[in-house]
A and B are shown apart, each in its own frame.
Chain A
Amino acid sequence: MCPEKELLSAYYDGELESPWSDRIRDHLKICEECAAKINGFKELSIFLKSDSEPSVAEVMGRVRQTIQAPEYKWRSHLWDRRVSLPMPLLAVAAVFLIVVGFLFAYRVAVPVSTPSQVIVSTDNSGRTELQISAPVQDMETLIKLLEEQGSFEEVIFQLPSEGEIWSQGEPELIRAVDFNRSGQ
């Protein structure tokens, strides 16, 4: 009985061990069909090696020169390094970055007003002086603070020395402290 073709191929490659290789060797002496198959494998190997290959020595010298060039010697390995991360972790990191990005963008787009400050001092004549610092954007808080302090002899508004100020409509502060126009 003839061995399987795969076994013949493995025998031709010298991959079969003792009892099997001996049996096939004996079989090949009496079976022309299997011997022809082995010959076919031999012919294939000869065919595959029939065309000339380029000279390796020349290529080897050229490639060695480029590999030993200074730019490869001093090239940083850090940038070429690849890191593999599990997909769920990558997704969580991406969501986190998007949320942080949105929060940051929101803070930049809508500047947060600094809280109002009240400094209380008494001058030589015994008068109480209140220095209230409040952001221009947050007039509501300033008005509320003024209302909380009761009545004043004198109110001085000091506008920021830096930056440009445009007059646009009727200032909210004036409207708030002005007389009631509808009642006039």
Chain B
Amino acid sequence: MNVESSSKLSFEIIYESLFSVIYRVAYRIVGDSAMAEDMTHDAFIKLYQRNEALPDLNQTKYWLIRVVKNMSFNYSKRKQRERRAYDKFKDRVPVFEESGEDVVLKKESKNLVKDALEQLPHNLRVVLILKEYAGMNYREIGETLGISEGNVKVRVFRAREKLSQIMKEVM
């Protein structure tokens, strides 16, 4: 990626270069394409309205990833709270037994990758997403999250270990 001051970079260049990675990070955190679109949109709006220019395209990328990651995790947390509240409510009302066909359909539509990622703690999930989907190296991940490269190495490894366990349980 070219290192060029973002004041010289047009919004269009930033948008063209970074949209895909920002959207992918948002999608892998929220697990929903429409919500990921909203998160990416809001992140670029924040960049658009930012008064100070970022030093270069890389810093702009790290900044955008931080913004979209925070917004996406906040959304996920809210969603989880709503789900818990719904589950509590569901326990109080009679539930009709699902037919065999319904159960099969639900299993088929179940997204294994999304479910597995959702079971990872946030700090492990984010490093794995940045490694596997954003194609970032340990230094870049560390710079984005404000942690050391050594810490990134440990987190990536732990995320893999945990994910292996989850997959053994699910499959």
A residues lining the B interface (CB < 8 Å): 5-6, 9-10, 13-15, 40-41, 44-45, 47-51, 53-54, 56, 59-60, 62-64, 66-67, 72, 75, 77, 80-81
Contacts and interface: CB of A to CB of B under 8 A. Distances in A.
Size bracket, chain B contacts:
35 or more
Given A44-B164, A66-B41, A13 B114 contact: no
A66 B15 CA distance: 13
B53 interface: no
Interface of B: 15, 19-20, 23-24, 27, 33, 36-37, 40-41, 44-45, 48-49, 51, 111-114, 116-117, 128, 131-133, 137-138, 153-154, 156-157, 160-161, 163-164, 167
B7 to A, nearest CB: 15
A19 B115 CA distance: 39
B160 to A, nearest CB: 6
**3 tightest A-B contacts by CB?**
A9-B157, A54-B33, A6-B157
A75 B15 CA distance: 19
B109 to A, nearest CB: 12
A50 B154 CA distance: 25
Contact of B153 (A6, A47, A54, A66): A6
Contacts of B40: 59, 63
A56 B24 contact: yes
B112 A51 contact: yes
Contacts, number: 85
B153 A44 contact: no
B37 A62 contact: yes
A45 B27 contact: no
A168 B56 CA distance: 79
B137 A45 contact: no
Contacts of B131: 13
Contacts of A67: 15, 41, 44-45, 48
Given A41-B160, A62-B37, A51 B132 contact: no
Nearest to A5: B157
A53 B153 contact: no
Given A63-B40, A67-B48, A75-B49, A48 B113 contact: yes
B112 A64 contact: no
A14 B167 CA distance: 24
